[in-house]
Amino acid sequence: MDQTQTTRVLFNAQCPVCNHEIRQYERYANRHALPLRFEDLNTEDLAIWGLTRDQAARRLYVLKDGALYGGVDGFLVLWQDMPRYRWLARIVGLPGIRWLASVLYDHALAPLIYRWHLARLRKQNLKA
């Protein structure tokens, strides 16, 4: 697969919520031979992304055509590249809905999932 034509999705495979959702997209993309690549932030070299591990764990990131998209914008790029989800990209991409989705993702959902991630890490460190 030509890397320049591939949309790359960075996600946290250690997060049960993130992993479940992204693996569904990955299975769909693989079934339809879509130029999407799904990369676990815990195993990938993040230098190409220009992100620290902590930054990457805070939200979804998508790299397409040399541009980095985060949060809802990342989801929109991902959904647009998958025919089954284009309708969702069109709806969520509408100005008022995009604003609301971004506020909810950036200020509620992503921080909640990130705090859950940190709590899981602390718990794992206590067991080690």
| CATH number, span 3-127 | 3.40.30
Instruction: Round the average pLDDT of the chain to a whole number and report it.
Output: 93
For the chain, percent of residues with pLDDT exceeding 70: 96
Order of strands, sheet of 36-40, starting from the edge strand that comes earlier in the sequence: 36-40, 7-11, 61-64, 67-70
The pLDDT tens digits for 51-90 are: 999 999 999 999 999 999 999 999 999 999 999 999 999 9
| pTM, to two decimals | 0.91
**With 70 as the cut, is the pLDDT of residue 128 above it?**
no
Domain ranges in the chain are 3-127
Average pLDDT (99-123) is: 94
Query: How far apart, in Å, are the Cα atoms of 95 and each of 17, 56, 91, 100?
Result: 27, 26, 9, 9
